[in-house]
Structure 1
């Protein structure tokens, strides 16, 4: 038995996670919390780990190769993903020249700057497969895992969402679980893009109440052109009046100060609580609709 378990550990892939003694036995300090200085230091260690593995070479330098064995000089076949250069890219993203190179400035990042840099690195991290001549982004998953291992300990807890690439604060478990599945196999590309946009608006670490309303409205807008099909397919699952489904789904955004601005709007409710519910509700309706459509294909 010992050798079987040892073999399993030896064969673990990079990024695989094993639970050690304290975690297995529930002895970890769940109240552990780190400050911004500590977060910056741990961030840099993660950045350096991936940078040493050349995971940011494509982002910073592009891809260079000899086009034939007779040529001596390499030519650029893919421009830097941070174009035209990392310095200018970060300058435009953060309106500061004290961001890049990261090793020089990371100790002085504000919270907003650090979170933005993390989002940019996640967006641009990639490796070039010279054999198959394609850009591979498998490393994104590992980057997310490593970053989330430290973000969860900062302040009230933060989370880099894998599908949208945005850092969110206090993401509730239902939303986190909902978007952790591979939605690319369920949702059309345009719907996925709109849902990502909604997540960014709602769950960004610096989101305002107005941004949250726009995020909810974006999800409802996805369903608007599907109202007829939505009523039919939901009614095939639950034998109720078709208009009841429609009323339930769209009355919320139309009458509770989300999409419209008029005297009929109901504003007398705790938006901090109900906005979260609306986000979960519309996200689940969209995903459920396309899952049901997929079953009928």
Structure 2
């Protein structure tokens, strides 16, 4: 249900939270699920009573085997992570985001009556509540439910492109490459090198299509075919993206230009396949 402020569009869209706020609200959310014993499968495993003695025995070991403390040590190289309630105030951003991903992966309950684990519905609820916090942190993040990764809110133009109907002419391999590039570029811990590799993936999608791309674009806008090719590939071939030699341009604002390249090459790929679909 939408309440008064939202219905009347009176909400302050600029409302944001800092890391201390995020950690505090994260713990309240974590406790909400922990109080419902939805991390017991992860932390303790599944236990059952045996006959009239009610002697407890383990049906399944914890998914964070052998213990959650050791599990977190192995994944975060720190013994100051578990228990969450004792340590959450000291998490840095990278630790907090990693813990959220781990908890999303391991949240679960066990249905004794049907002898099965219940996972998906708890993950969906966890992601919904966590995303309501993450979207207000800095420039906005979200927990991707398909990948289980925390991502930066992607460039609005890229997001709009990928959320429109994907042309039927795009094969599954290209879709997977696009998804991999977006994940690599917008993952919360993405650095300059991983963003560069993401742009390379997009250029690699276009490379085997170069000759056909010239023809397809020329059908819509007739110029010298090589002008299209030069316009598209000159950036990745001269801005130290695909090649590493003395001719490469290196002194530029990479953060700004990389964001533009990501948007540009994604739009070229989608445009190519849409034009192919129109022609077919």
TM-score (norm 2): 0.72
Task: Name stretches of at least 5 consecutive residues in structure 1 with no aligned partner.
Answer: 1-17, 67-71
- Counting matched residue pairs gives 270
Q: Which residue does the alignment assign to 2:76?
A: 94
The Cα offsets for residues 117-164 of structure 1, whole Å up to 9 and x where unpaired, read as: 112223444566785957753544433322121123223433334444
TM-score (norm 1): 0.69
| Alpha-carbon distance in 2 for matches of 1:132, 1:242 | 63
Deviation of 1:25 after TM superposition, in Å, equals 1.6
CA RMSD between the two structures: 4.2
| Alpha-carbon distance in 1 for matches of 2:126, 2:76 | 22
The Cα offsets for residues 167-223 of structure 1, whole Å up to 9 and x where unpaired, read as: 34453322344456798x9762x6555445433432233433222212211332344
Q: Which residue does the alignment assign to 1:255?
A: 238
Structure number with greater Rg is: 2
Q: Which residue does the alignment assign to 1:150?
A: 133
| Alpha-carbon distance in 2 for matches of 1:90, 1:199 | 27
Deviation of 1:263 after TM superposition, in Å, equals 2.1
Q: Which residue does the alignment assign to 1:121?
A: 103
The Cα offsets for residues 35-84 of structure 1, whole Å up to 9 and x where unpaired, read as: 32221121112223334445445544567899xxxxx96643xx655445
CA contact (8 A) 1:212 1:275 kept: yes
The Cα offsets for residues 261-286 of structure 1, whole Å up to 9 and x where unpaired, read as: 11222335432222112112333445
CA 1:74–1:294 in 2, change beyond 3 Å: closer, same or farther?
farther
Task: Name stretches of at least 5 consecutive residues in structure 2 with no aligned partner.
Answer: 50-55
| Alpha-carbon distance in 2 for matches of 1:127, 1:56 | 8
Say whether 1:104 aligns with 2:86: yes
Q: Which residue does the alignment assign to 1:231?
A: 213
1:78-227 map, 5 Å:
80-125=62-107, 131=114, 136-169=119-152, 171-178=154-161, 188=172, 194-224=177-207, 226-227=208-209
Say whether 1:43 aligns with 2:21: no
Bigger RCO of structures 1 and 2 (CA < 8 A, at least 6 apart): 2
